[in-house]
Amino acid sequence: MKKIKYCLPIRKKSIIYFFLSLVFSIITNYFIFFNNRQRGYSLKIFVVNLVLILIYFLALRGFSLFFCFFKIQVSKNLLIGENPIIIIIHKITLACLFWVFLNIIILNRVDIIHYNMGLAFLFSIFILFLLFSMTGIIKNICEYFIKHRDKMYIMLALVIATFSITQLIIAYGLQTTSPNWDSGVVFSDVIAFMDKGKIVNSQYYVLYPNNLGLLSVLILYFKFLKVFGVVHSLYAASILNVVVMNISVLLIYLICEKVIGIEGAITSLFFSFIFVILSCWVTTPYTDILGMIYPLLILYLYLKSKEIKRNKVKLSVYILIGIVAMFAYKMKPTSLFVMIAIIMVLIITNIKHPKKFALKCALMLLGLIFSLNVFNYSLDNSGILNHKLKYVYEHSTPPTYFLMIGMQKQYIKDRGALYGAVDAADARLNNKSQTKENRIKQNIPEIKKRLREFGFKEYLKFLSNKASWIFGDGTFYAYGEGDYKESKLVHKDRISKNIQNVMYPNSDKYIYFAHFLEGAWIVLIFFIVFPLFLKEKYKDKEELSILRITIFGVFIFLLFFEGRSRYLYNNIGIFIITSVYGYNLCKEKVLAIIKKS
């Protein structure tokens, strides 16, 4: 295969880029710190200066590659790892996440728990020790499974069964009365529909039709259970969570096996156990949990399509991806970023041969649009809503509202600052208007006003704090919605009490459990950004590009729109897979150093 020759002598220009980065970082530091009359050169300023040099250096290299793109001698089959646009996306994503990583450590803004970063680091070291101490065991298991492939899937089935039983016990122990926020509104309407044939809060879905997917899925689920005589309850909804979460764990494993190998797949179970199986969200029937399966299913189907030889079957899989994407959109729109990433990679890697990707993209969009129309027609004729969907969409809350509240900063007593979260004043303003058009007319002037009030420097500072607030919580904002104190724990048996003592916030031990999750989250993010410091070979790693573009899309979306840590959770599988890749690179480097010494 013909190698691609870059038109820029990057090595010769690196010194110029470094000095320019140094100058730009000094100027930026002046505006951030010294312009605010902060004197002296503290450790904080030094760290920020180093990070800015790195970011500016990567940006200059990125722009250089971008403007050089059209002068590149492109081979017929452009290697994914040698495509300058892909390289830029990789570097920008890793640089942004590195900035977030430093923000989490130095300026953690989480309000629900004020983390002691020293304690979190101790847990991080403990988790790293566990990971690296298991290296030999995992290697031996891999060698065995390579020889006995059938037994690997028996082991996997036993692991998933164990995970499921563990989660069912946790869900039982943490079961409360109905949540007192959006999840509770939807769940109460599901119960009302099952009992009386109509929902109570019809106007809620006019304002927020994004929860219609959740409402429909839960109603269908309870109708299915009714056939077997199972009574609808919050624990029954938790069982659906357990099913979805464990299928997600299975998909994470299978994707890691395809992208990284069996060793990476087994390692993924370690992270899946911490972030999925031990999640306090298991008792909450909401979009963040039920939506986590869709990004993974879309990615898995795409990887599977590449293995299929028969053209008709391959094309039908792309239609299926579009159908899954429709459910992803209806459940949680940020679950669609992985499909957008797939389309971007298809376009970039086949830029000289548009026919190769045009049909695939068209089939995915066909599946999405067709299934969306079927869903809307079915919902319109189901009798669930008091209004037709046309009326709902004409009177719904527009994206401009979520952009507006994404610029909101508010303080809660005994907790601290919230960045880009729902504000009561904004909600009242939104509810006063009757149509989407009027709301847009209200939102746009308010957005412009808030931007003027911020100013460029303060807005950047706000976005930095918001990134720290959203990405800084390893519990993913567990117990942060509504008021958990108003919900009562249902079960009082010995096992349930032991679970509550560790995993429920009214216990003194919960703070240590939260710090354990925070320590694990720091490790996960560290392994995602670790390749930034290596001469990484991206060759033939199309899947890695999809993963990182997805994470970058989630990052940018939550940075500007409404967000909190919970909004990351539906893409936790993408984070885990990307982190396992980084861990494998790190492990190889560590083993190479040990071997040399």
Q: Of 50, 73, 96, which residue is a domain's last?
A: 73
The last residue of a domain, from among 73, 93, 127: 73
pLDDT score at 104: 83
C-alpha–C-alpha distance, residues 151 and 466, integer Å: 46
What is the structure's pLDDT at 248? 97
382 and 393: one domain? yes
Residues 64 and 102 in one domain: no
57 and 17 in a common domain: yes
| 83: containing domain | 74-596
- Asked if the model's pLDDT at residue 326 lies above 50, the reply is yes
Residue 251 pLDDT: 97
From CA 255, how far away is CA 271, in angstroms rounded? 14
Rounded to the nearest integer, the mean pLDDT of the chain is 85
Q: What is the pLDDT of residues 129-150, one digit of tens each?
A: 999 889 889 888 888 888 888 8
Q: Quick one: 364 and 488 in the same domain?
A: yes
- Answer yes or no: are the C-beta atoms of 548 and 153 closer than 8 Å: no
The pTM assigned to this predicted structure is 0.85
Who's near 216: CB < 8 A, 6+ residues apart? 330, 375, 379, 382, 384
Task: Choose one of 10, 44, 73: the last residue of a domain.
Answer: 73
Dihedral sign for Cα 79, 80, 81, 83, please.
positive
Residues β-bridged to residue 410: 418
Report pLDDT for 572: 97
pLDDT band at 510; cut points 50, 70, 90: very high
Same-domain check for residues 62 and 133: no
Distance (Å, rounded) from C-alpha 355 to C-alpha 395?
Answer: 40
Give percent of the chain above pLDDT 70. Answer: 86
Residue 539: its pLDDT value, please? 47
Q: What is the DSSP letter of 489?
A: B
Q: Is the pLDDT assigned to residue 78 strictly greater than 50?
A: no
pLDDT computed for residue 212 by the predictor: 93
Q: Tell me: the pLDDT tens digits for 252-291?
A: 999 999 999 999 999 999 999 999 999 999 999 999 999 9
Q: What is the pLDDT of residue 43?
A: 64
332 and 200: one domain?
yes
Judge contact between 201 and 189, C-beta under 8 A: yes
Tens-place pLDDT, residues 351-404: 666 777 788 888 998 999 999 999 999 998 888 888 888 888 888 889 999 999
- Could you read off the pLDDT of 512-537 as tens digits, one per residue? 999 999 999 999 999 999 888 776 65
pLDDT at position 318 over 90: yes
Average pLDDT over residues 43-52: 70
DSSP string for residues in 175-189: -BSPPSSHHHHHHHH
Residue 205 and residue 251 in one domain: yes
Which band of pLDDT confidence, cut at 50, 70 and 90, is reported for residue 538?
very low
- Work out the average pLDDT over 543-561: 92
Nearest C-alpha neighbor of 472 from the set 96, 105, 48: 105
Give ∠ CA 101-102-105 in degrees, rounded to 5.
90
Terminal CA-CA length for the chain: 37
Residue 79 region, left (φ>0) first, then alpha (ψ -120 to 50), else beta?
Answer: beta
How high is the pLDDT of residue 355?
A: 72
Total number of domains constituting the chain = 2
Q: Say which residue the tokens 């990052």 belong to.
A: 555
Mean predicted confidence (pLDDT) in 171-197: 89
Across the range 160-176, mean pLDDT stands at 95
